[in-house]
Amino acid sequence: MSETLLSMRKITKRFPGVLANDEISFDLFKGEIHALVGENGAGKTTLMKILYGLYSPDSGEIYIKGKRITIKNPKEAINGGIGMVHQHFMLVPPFTVLENIIIGEETKKFGLLDESLPAEKIKALMEKNGLIVDLNSRVEDVPVGLQQRVEILKILYRGAEILVFDEPTAVLTPQEVEDLFKTFRQLISQGKGIVFISHKLDEVLEIADRITVIRKGRVIKTLNRDEATKSLIAELMVGKPVLLEVSRPDVKEGPAVLEVKYLSLQDYRKVNILTDVSFTVHAGEIYGIAGVEGNGQTELVEVIAEAAPILHGDILLNGESITNWDVRQRREAGISHIPEDRHRYGLLLPFSLAENLTLGMHHKEPFVNRFQIINKNKIREHAKAVIEKFDIRTPSELTTALALSGGNQQKVIVARELSTEPKLLLAAQPTRGVDIGATEFIHNQLMIAKKEGRAVLLVSADLDEVMSLSDRIGVMFKGRIIKEFEREKTTKEEIGFYMMGEKEHAGN
């Protein structure tokens, strides 16, 4: 094989109570795309943060082009030719694209900031790599896919040869993913090397030359592309065979449970977040909302779950308008909600599992007596039963929610929201940041809910998830549902097309 760009040898990093990286060795060749896969918490991000100088390793060595270096901070990483596109973009939204690219590598003219010379340099980079962005737009006005281009331009501007992409496709539509992969190929043809971190195995198999699987801080195996299969990688990641396909029960659709009619919502600046959104979810149906994040999905779920002042429109539950009901009325009428941000809205992290599992029912018997005094024993009994039923991995029901892994925290929420036997379940990003095992479990729970005749509204940024679970799919773009599909009658590519608003005026 060709020249080695990067070699990390026996990197070990210990955090209090966790061995995040246990003698991890990792190589990157010139002109190669090397995928790094593993469950959340397996140690991928820690390893890359060490490479980028954000953490210092307890032991281990890093070589760049055969030369040993120590990287104490990002500046040294940049100087060593390492560039990173972080999972959460490191951009300054109110600044222009140009400013974002040059921060830290500015050019001066007479002591003042010079923008003309960098602009020329960046334009040359944009043309060479097919990454066109308007340099004078503010980043906050630029769509997510283009923001990522800004991030790539940022690292190319610094002359990086080792490019690390931490879950770059999570926020992209399928077409944008194709564009990104084109860019990848373009970059490796120039002799650069790419580390591609992802948990989307199809994408890894499509683009990577080699695949390194890590689990619990250790390298399990490095595979060449021709020896890798999806199920093999998944098994290596989890440590046991995984069922990747969800089995879909055949359920006869019932009456309409949730009806949203011409719903419009504005933010404090009087800008429309939702515009005339209408759709219906039936009993025994999973209705999926696909769309690039930030197109109104979050607000749509919130306005159904909570009371919010809407501009106009109506929300009906079993034919009855609930638009003016408060949250408790809605919950008691049978709405459950798995919120998008589990830490902020889903759990009380410093509280015990028992308490978290009774939230929302805590004011009702048997959890309180008729004087509203809490009955701790009943809460614990209930928790024990739910933990058993939903297979939540915890030392005890008195453990705090904080102490659990992300997957188990999410299971706690799913368990609580389903234990009320809701008529309508709102599931917003139910498997975000959750490991494969818990994802499988949560998907099965959604299928069970469907089988039991519950209506489910699923919102997910993961198009594969929406495609595999939903019966019907609505595509949201700029606060509208611009197209609705039957699951069998569409393709990922078609939905992706609408997600970008390309057919905004064509259909519907």
What are the residues binding another protein (CB under 8 A)?
A: 45, 49, 52, 54-55, 73-75, 78, 84, 86, 90-95, 99, 102-106, 108, 111-113, 154, 268-269
Of 13 and 483, nearer to another protein (C-beta) is 13
- Kindly state the smallest distance separating residue 106's Cβ from another protein, in Å: 4
The distance of Cα 66 from the centroid of its chain, to the nearest Å, equals 36
Of 100 and 470, nearer to another protein (C-beta) is 100
Under 8 Å CB-to-CB from 22, ≥6 apart: which residues?
12, 43, 216, 217, 218
Beta strands in 339-479 (DSSP E): 424-428, 455-459, 472-477
- Kindly state the smallest distance separating residue 297's Cβ from another protein, in Å: 22
Of 269 and 505, nearer to another protein (C-beta) is 269
- Kindly state the smallest distance separating residue 13's Cβ from another protein, in Å: 11
List helix spans (H) across 291-405. Answer: 297-305, 327-332, 353-358, 376-389
Find the helix or strand (DSSP H, E) in which 124 lies. Answer: helix 116-129
For 44, other C-beta atoms within 10 Å of its C-beta total 25
- Kindly state the smallest distance separating residue 214's Cβ from another protein, in Å: 17
For residues 393 and 341, the answer to whether their CB atoms sit within 8 Å is: no
- Kindly state the smallest distance separating residue 268's Cβ from another protein, in Å: 5
Of 91 and 392, nearer to another protein (C-beta) is 91
- For residue 19, what are the CA distances in angstroms to 14, 58, 103, 239? 4, 11, 35, 18
Of 51 and 482, nearer to another protein (C-beta) is 51
- Kindly state the smallest distance separating residue 203's Cβ from another protein, in Å: 24
Of 55 and 367, nearer to another protein (C-beta) is 55
Whole-angstrom Cα distance, residue 102 to residue 114?
10
Instruction: Please state whether the peptide bond connecting residue 366 to the residue before it is cis, i.e. omega within 30 degrees of 0.
Output: yes
- Kindly state the smallest distance separating residue 311's Cβ from another protein, in Å: 17
Question: For residue 14, which of 50, 61, 63, 52 has the smallest C-alpha distance?
Answer: 50
Of 60 and 453, nearer to another protein (C-beta) is 60
Q: Which residues are paired to 100 by β-bridges?
A: none
